[in-house]
Structures are given as C-alpha cells and as structure tokens.
A and B are shown apart, each in its own frame.
Chain A
C-alpha cells in the first residue's frame, strides 16, 4: 500500500524567498513520485515527476524536487518565490503502470501563499 504525508497545510513565504514544500511517502514497491499544482477552481497540472534515474528532478516554473530513498522524501523547492506561485501543491505516489498499484495516491495538499 502507498501513502503520502505533506507536512504543513499552509506555507507562507515572501516574494523572492526560498520555497520548500515537504513530502514523505510510503510505498511497498519502487515508487513513482509526482508534484502537481492546482490554481483555484481548476484541475491539477503536473509540475514534475520522478520515475527512475537521476534523483534531482527539474520541473516547470523553476521548481525542482529531490528523491531521497533513505528518507522516503520528495521535497519540492524553488530558489525564489514569485507571486504567481501562490496555489495549492499536491504530492503523489504510485507504483508502476499496471494494476491498482498504478493508481496515484495524493497527499492532502499544501497551500502556498506568497507575500509581496
């Protein structure tokens, strides 16, 4: 079984400051890991994904995440926050494509606020 824990339901940063959103996962199989972003009343947009290979993954809008197997973590970072980054961010885990292990299991989300 898989699960995701996102630490902090709300995170507030100043514009230009570092963004750090925390995600820890549990998986009984080698995981695929994802970060999605959601703007109000919209669907989810994929920010980045980890499948295999390089553990530091770069995504859109300047975000990146590092897969740390020993810590079962996949934290999302961005060096300098922009006002347009204000949104809700979801971490998700799945197994490989086939069967129910291929279902994406999401954390409860972290709402990011950016102060001018």
Chain B
C-alpha cells in the first residue's frame, strides 16, 4: 500500500535561517506531489505541485521554493525564513482521484 512520510514534525527556526522540509512517498511511482500551507483561519493554500522529476509549478509567489530530485521525493526550501513563513506545512500525493496527506510539519519562525 502507499504511504507518505513527512519530517520533521515540528521545527522552530530563527528569522533569516534556511529551511528544508522533506517528503517521501512509498508504494507508487510517478505520483503527483503537492505542498500545502495551513495558516490559522486561512484554510489550505496550495504552494507547489509537481507532476514529475524536476517539474515544479508554483501557485503563489513567495519566499519558498520546491524541488523534486527523485520520483518519490519532494522538498520544500527557503534560503531565508520570514516570520510570515510560520504555519503548518502538509505534503500530499494524488492517486487517480483523491489526495493522501502526510502528518504535517509545524514551523514556527521566531
């Protein structure tokens, strides 16, 4: 069966520091992969999606970037974090119909 792993679960980072969040999927090949951010009262905002290795589409201009170095690996990065980058980050992969989500990373920028 397919599983999705996301880490770390929580992260506290100072303003201006770099960021790297990793997501991996098992049990499927060539999945569509997604990064969402959840901020209080704002629902889930789609940040990036990828349909294949090296193929990244950005939905919202921001301080973040994404990369897909391997078929089942999706990385969210930042060179310099801002306070506004705080939030709950969720990785997901899509099968034929619906998305399956990872357990999320709570990022607090201080």
Name A's B-contacting residues (CB within 8 A).
9, 32, 34, 36, 41-46, 49, 51, 90, 97, 100, 102-109
A32, A42, A102, A106: the one contacting B103 at CB < 8 Å is A42
CB distance from A20 to the nearest CB of B (A): 19
The answer to whether A100 and B98 touch (CB under 8 A), given A42-B103, A105-B46, is no
Task: Tell me, in angstroms, the Cα distance from A109 to B41 when the chains sit together.
Answer: 8
If over half of B's interface residues share one DSSP class (helix, strand or loop), that class is named, otherwise mixed; here it is strand
Pair B98/A102 contact, Cβ less than 8 Å: no
- Chain A hits for B96, CB < 8 A: 97
B32, B41, B98, B106: the one contacting A108 at CB < 8 Å is B41
Task: Tell me, in angstroms, the Cα distance from A100 to B43 when the chains sit together.
Answer: 19
New A-B contacts (19) at CB < 8 Å, excluding given A43-B6, A97-B96, A106-B44: A9-B41, A32-B98, A34-B99, A41-B104, A43-B104, A51-B97, A90-B43, A90-B44, A102-B32, A103-B34, A103-B59, A104-B34, A104-B46, A104-B94, A104-B98, A104-B99, A106-B43, A108-B43, A109-B43
Pair A46/B100 contact, Cβ less than 8 Å: yes
Pair A103/B46 contact, Cβ less than 8 Å: yes
| CB interface residues, B 26-72, toward A, < 8 Å | 32, 34, 36, 41-44, 46, 49, 57, 59
The answer to whether A44 and B101 touch (CB under 8 A), given A90-B44, A103-B46, A106-B44, is yes
- Chain A hits for B101, CB < 8 A: 36, 43-45
- Chain A hits for B97, CB < 8 A: 32, 49, 51, 97
Pair B41/A42 contact, Cβ less than 8 Å: no
- Chain B hits for A34, CB < 8 A: 98-99
CB distance from A79 to the nearest CB of B (A): 24
Pair B57/A42 contact, Cβ less than 8 Å: no
Task: Tell me, in angstroms, the Cα distance from A42 to B105 when the chains sit together.
Answer: 9
